[in-house]
Amino acid sequence: MSGRHTVIRSLHDVGLAAWFGGTLMGAVGLNGAARSEGGTGMDRARISSSGWAKWTPVNAAAIGVHLFGSGGLLMVNAHRVVGQKGVAASTTAKTLLTGAALAATAYTRVLGKKVELASSSDPQDAQKAAQHPIDLDRAQRQLACAQFVVPALTGCLVVLNALHGEQERPVDQLQGMLRRAGSMMTLNQ
């Protein structure tokens, strides 16, 4: 990577760290505390939903910052993606994992919103929930599983980010570009 891109890299890394860490803490810490302190099932759902609702705008900002930083890193490293063997494959894997993490995040938010409305003591929320009744126990079971998918996928993104960092080392860049040139020469013969 020629030059320094500290701001772009920081946006990428800080956004990913918040996305990963926040969802893991919520799944383990917030939901665990709600189970310990909530009393009834409805109380537990209300406590957990309240915490997740407060986290949602921060998580959305973190994801946006991460995606902005990812796009910036892709632009400044485009020459390596094309010219260094192995970088295109890890970039493709990272892109697919990011898409899966985004889909899992959206799915858990939809489930979480359903639980939030169904367990709310707010009359307006109760009215909305009555218009779209759900099986609260089923939604909570689905959410209990789905909420761990997001930190698992974003944790994989952290690992791929480490791989990308290793691929930026001068020796790896040189070897990767020589391997790419060698494979191109073999194709042309």
Tell whether the torsion through CA atoms of 53, 57, 60 and 66 is positive or negative. Answer: negative
Separation between Cα atoms, residue 89 and residue 68, nearest integer Å:
21
Which DSSP string do the residues of 30-87 spell out, in sequence order? IHHHHHHH--SHHHHHHHHHHHHHHHHHHHHHHHHHHHHHHHHHHHHTHHHHHHSTTH
Looking at residue 90, what DSSP letter applies?
H
Q: Where are the domains of the chain?
A: 7-183
pLDDT at 156 (0 to 100): 96
Closest CA to 153 of 107, 101, 104: 101
Per-residue pLDDT band at 1 (split at 50, 70, 90): very low
Per-residue pLDDT band at 188 (split at 50, 70, 90): low
pLDDT tens string 89-126:
999 999 999 999 999 999 999 999 888 888 877 777 66
pLDDT at 40 (0 to 100): 84
Residues 6+ apart with CB under 8 A from 121: 46
Joined together, the tokens standing for residue 109 give 């938010």
Buried b / exposed e across 138-151, counting CB within 10 Å, b at 16+? ebbebbeebbebbb
Per-residue pLDDT band at 140 (split at 50, 70, 90): confident
Closest CA to 157 of 56, 28, 24: 24
Res. 18: pLDDT tops 80: yes
Q: Which residue has the higher pLDDT, 158 or 133?
A: 158
Separation between Cα atoms, residue 4 and residue 73, nearest integer Å:
11
What is the rounded end-to-end Cα distance, in angstroms, of the chain? 31
Res. 182: pLDDT tops 70: no
Query: Rounded to two decimals, what is the model's pTM?
Result: 0.82
